[in-house]
Amino acid sequence: MPYESSPSPVAPISTSRFWTVGISIAIALVVMVGLAFIHPEIANWLIGGAVVVAASAWILNVQPPSVATLPETSGAPIERSANPKTAELLDRVFEALDDPVLIISGGEPDDIAGRRVVMANKAARDLLRIQSQGALLVQVIREPGVLEAVDEALFGGVSRTTDYATGGQRDRRWRAWTRPLGDGEGKGQGSLALVILRDETDARRTEMMRVDFLANASHELRTPLASLSGFIETLKGHARDDVAARDRFLDIMSAQADRMGRLVADLLSLSRIELNEHIPPSGRVDLDRAASDVVDAVSVLTQEKQINVVVDQGEARASISGDRDEILQVVQNLLDNAVKYSAKGGTVEISVRSDLSFDEAWASRMPGATRLPLVTPDRAVGVLYAAVTVRDHGPGMAREHLPRLTERFYRVEGQKSGERQGTGLGLAIVKHIINRHQGGLVVESAPGLGAAFTAWFPMVVERRDVRTAA
């Protein structure tokens, strides 16, 4: 129990201490009285001194001990005043932490269902969608490594740090710190453990971006750099005075330099998109207008190849949640591929559809072809989608090539003609943009029938409801 001061001016003392004080005072009085009988001339002075000694002894021995000496003299803990402001401040600090923090009670060691959340701050409640207390740990955290670390903290007193990744369309990287907190102070909670979660996605993506960029740049830029070095050495040597050879070599060097520029630009674009892939976009885009803008932007290229682009936008407005620049990049990359692999004078078809269910969004649009989903979003109840389909009538692809289309630098064998300028990163960029927008990507193709790519995105609910009500 905390020490509490008595309302009386003098604190009570123990029996043994009372007798010690009394005997000391009695001895002092006896000595003073005896001296007074022996020396009558100083009797008044001795009696007054006896009174002073007795009073001093009583005050020194009976006054309450100071706070500084209280633990040593009484063995009781120092008094702690219950300060509501301090408790409120600690609660606010706990709630304001950016990292999710949980306090877990262990119950019995052999009772897995007994691990419950005793306290959870706001970040933890928002992340795990739980109340502040009472939730089962196995229902909110399903990572075996974290659950094992919690058990070690609860019943073994072991502190651990665990790295893990969450599943689903968006890969998230987390780090969990588990620390033992001892028992629950006799409240029937058993052992307690502290769990702190931290989102390491940004740091891991930045690290992987550097690694991938260096690996891809060193691999893909090696060929054009070797070509440039070889032609430079040739021009400095025996071809120095050969005008025809010099002009031909300079044209090749210019093409290789352009290819290096496109590689660097696409690698930087891909790295930036991967870095922000886990951050949902906040803007709104009209998918049909985006498709029209892309057709206008590539009109010069299609006219040069005499490609006829047919656009079918549908009747309803296809408004989606997304980043306009990235949605434009998706449509443009798909259209560039279609134009690239279409024969001169061919036709490319673009269609936009809205208010599609999940099954309607990824349904077949090219009978007789092999269909394969390259990106599949998590199925959500009541969500409608808008889809854009880009189809060409080029050579098409065999089914064994379809699963690898979104790999970096992958080219279908037999379609590596130098006339088709590209870096092999277009569909990889499309995949990561669609992942960020929680959409889907489907490819349909067959040799001799061309290819059709369908990208679909969740629609803006508010805008669609207003249009329906009107």
Q: Tell me the per-residue pLDDT of 138-186, one tens digit each, with 9 for 90 and over.
A: 888 888 889 989 999 998 889 999 988 886 556 778 889 999 988 755 4
> Over pLDDT 70: what percentage of the chain?
72
Whether the pLDDT of residue 353 is over 60: the answer is: yes
Q: Which residue has the higher pLDDT, 74 or 54?
A: 54
Whether the pLDDT of residue 197 is over 80: the answer is: yes
**What's the pTM?**
0.56
Write down the pLDDT at residue 316.
66
Write down the pLDDT at residue 64.
45
Using CA atoms, how far apart are residues 277 and 184, in angstroms rounded to an integer? Answer: 42
Residue type, 259: R
Q: Once rounded to an integer, what is the mean pLDDT over residues 376-404?
A: 88
**108-122, 222-236, 246-260, 387-401 — most confident range:** 387-401
What confidence tier does 257 reach under pLDDT thresholds 50, 70, 90?
Answer: confident
Write down the pLDDT at residue 259.
77
Q: Once rounded to an integer, what is the mean pLDDT over residues 87-108?
A: 87
> Over pLDDT 90: what percentage of the chain?
19
Write down the pLDDT at residue 179.
92
Write down the pLDDT at residue 94.
87
Q: Which residue has the higher pLDDT, 275 or 104?
A: 104
Instruction: Quick: pLDDT tens for 124-138.
Output: 898 888 887 888 888
Write down the pLDDT at residue 466.
39
Q: What is the 3-state secondary structure (H, E, C) of the chain?
A: CCCCCCCCCCCCCCHHHHHHHHHHHHHHHHHHHHHHHHCHHHHHHHHHHHHHHHHHHHHHHHCCCCCCCHHHHHCCCCCCCCCHHHHHHHHHHHHHCCCCEEEEECCCCCCHHHCEEEEECHHHHHHHCCCCCCCEHHHHCCCHHHHHHHHHHHHHCCCEEEEEEECCCCCEEEEEEEEEEEECCCCCCCEEEEEEEEECHHHHHHHHHHHHHHHHHHHHCHHHHHHHHHHHHHHHCCCCCCHHHHHHHHHHHHHHHHHHHHHHHHHHHHHHHHHCCCCCCCCEEEHHHHHHHHHHHCHHHHHHCCCEEEEECCCCCCEEECCHHHHHHHHHHHHHHHHHCCCCCCEEEEEEEEEECHHHHCCCCCCCCEEEEEECCCCCCCCCEEEEEEEECCCCCCHHHHHHCCCCCCCCCCCCCCCCCCCCCHHHHHHHHHHHCCCEEEEEEECCCEEEEEEEEEECHHHHHHHHHC
Write down the pLDDT at residue 216.
64
Place of tokens 């590689």: 263
Write down the pLDDT at residue 134.
82
Q: Which residue has the higher pLDDT, 388 or 65?
A: 388
Whether the pLDDT of residue 68 is over 50: the answer is: no
Q: Is the dihedral of CA 322, 323, 324, 325 positive or negative?
A: negative
Write down the pLDDT at residue 298.
87
Instruction: Quick: pLDDT tens for 25-45.
Output: 566 555 555 555 555 555 555
Write down the pLDDT at residue 263.
78
What average pLDDT does the chain have? 77
Q: Once rounded to an integer, what is the mean pLDDT over residues 232-246?
A: 79
Write down the pLDDT at residue 46.
53
Write down the pLDDT at residue 425.
82
Write down the pLDDT at residue 349.
93
Write down the pLDDT at residue 194.
92
Q: Is the dihedral of CA 110, 116, 119, 123 positive or negative?
A: positive
Whether the pLDDT of residue 469 is over 60: the answer is: no
Phi-psi region for residue 418, left (φ > 0), alpha (ψ -120 to 50) or beta? alpha
Q: Which residue has the higher pLDDT, 362 or 217?
A: 362
Span of 228-237, 282-291, 348-357 with lowest mean pLDDT: 228-237
Write down the pLDDT at residue 392.
93
Write down the pLDDT at residue 247.
81
Q: What are phi and psi of 336, to 5 degrees?
A: -60, -45
Whether the pLDDT of residue 51 is over 60: the answer is: no
Q: Which residue has the higher pLDDT, 371 or 219?
A: 371
What confidence tier does 335 reach under pLDDT thresholds 50, 70, 90?
Answer: very high
Using CA atoms, how far apart are residues 260 and 271, in angstroms rounded to an integer? Answer: 16
Span of 116-120, 178-182, 316-320, 346-350 with lowest mean pLDDT: 316-320
Write down the pLDDT at residue 29.
59
Write down the pLDDT at residue 70.
37
Write down the pLDDT at residue 42.
53
Instruction: Quick: pLDDT tens for 418-442.
Output: 455 667 788 988 999 999 898 999 9
In terms of Cα–Cα distance, which of 390, 411, 392, 393 is closest to 401? Answer: 411
Whether the pLDDT of residue 336 is over 60: the answer is: yes
Write down the pLDDT at residue 376.
87
Write down the pLDDT at residue 102.
92
**209-218, 278-287, 312-321, 409-418 — most confident range:** 278-287
Using CA atoms, how far apart are residues 107 and 134, in angstroms rounded to an integer? Answer: 13
